[in-house]
Amino acid sequence: MIVCQNLSKSYGEHKALQDLNLTLEAGDAFGFIGPNGAGKSTTIRILATLQEPSEGEAWVGGHSVLSEPDAVREVLGYMPDQFGLYEGMRSWEYLEFYAAAYRVPRQRWKGLIDEVLELTDLTVKKQSFVETLSTGMRQRLCLAKTLLHDPKVLILDEPASGLDPRARIELKLLLKELSRMGKTLLVSSHILPELADFCNKVGIIEAGRLLASGPVNSILAQASRDRFRLRIRVLQKNQEARQLIEKSLEADDVAEESDALVLSTAVGLEGQADLLEKLVRDGFRPVEFSQLKTDLEQIFLEVTQGITQ
């Protein structure tokens, strides 16, 4: 549904995007992760036909963003990271404007507007002026306008930014529902655990380069195949225990988190069992010895180097 081939974008000497290759199938939910200035928004703007790549080519829904931009806009719903609504318009008028903008036949406007308002839980705000809506409601209204023309592909740039926890949860549920409906989603976000909840693929970008990309499970498995993250808590003699752990597990990145030690090690299960036995034998009285699951945040930290452009 989305194909990027050697996509590059330069602003003079500065290369915002370098040789990005990406393929998303229909129904995929892709989480696009990267620090500020990594090239996420540039990629998204190219896919939304708002910018043209300096090199390479991209296709959305089988249409080239270069030579068939209008066909791309027909199948694409785009929600930018920063957006403004037109004050002085009612919610239904705002949606009507975008229904006309997407050339939806006039006779379908009313039914569609009611449908998307219901989907985004804004039916009660149909007659309200947009300036009276809360930030979360505005976000949902913007998402409603993105869904009006029933696009096959949805590109959402930081959809959860500026939302309170409740609104974030509501948005996450909505995105899950859209994913279940078979839409192809490309979502960029800083809130990685939320992406992991509903995305089946992720891509990590830094300094204009796509560092890792693929199904979430395979990336997680690949990251946790060689190393283990452990959480160990003992009741007494913390410092001595730490020295013993560092020595036994050959770990040099031991961190303290609320009376517990969190570390990463390449030592296998046998070595870990030996350590536990030694801790008990030496009288450290361990109360917690657990393996932590590797999450997206961990992978993100491991893959990226904190380079900013």
| Binding positions for other proteins, rule: CB under 8 A | 45, 48-50, 52, 66-67, 70, 73-74, 76, 78-80, 82-89, 93, 97-98, 100-103, 142, 145
Distance of closest approach, residue 143 Cβ to other proteins, in angstroms:
12
Q: Are 32 and 204 in contact (CB under 8 A)?
A: no
Distance of closest approach, residue 183 Cβ to other proteins, in angstroms:
16
Distance of closest approach, residue 97 Cβ to other proteins, in angstroms:
5
Residue carrying the six token digits 């209204």: 141
Output 73 or 201, the one with its CB closest to other proteins.
73
Q: Over the Cα atoms of the chain, what is R_g?
A: 24
Q: Are 185 and 24 in contact (CB under 8 A)?
A: no
How many residues are given for the chain? Answer: 309
Q: Among 143, 166, 170, which Cα is nearest to 85's? A: 143
Output 133 or 244, the one with its CB closest to other proteins.
133
Output 50 or 292, the one with its CB closest to other proteins.
50
Structure tokens at 91: 């919610």
Output 11 or 270, the one with its CB closest to other proteins.
11
Distance of closest approach, residue 270 Cβ to other proteins, in angstroms:
56
Distances (CA, A) of 156 to 110, 127, 188: 25, 26, 6
Phi and psi dihedrals of 188, rounded to 5? -100, 140
Output 75 or 196, the one with its CB closest to other proteins.
75
| DSSP-derived secondary structure letter, 294 | P
Distance of closest approach, residue 174 Cβ to other proteins, in angstroms:
18
Phi and psi dihedrals of 231, rounded to 5? -125, 120
Output 82 or 239, the one with its CB closest to other proteins.
82
Q: What is the rounded CA–CA span in Å between residue 60 and residue 69?
A: 9
Distance of closest approach, residue 205 Cβ to other proteins, in angstroms:
20
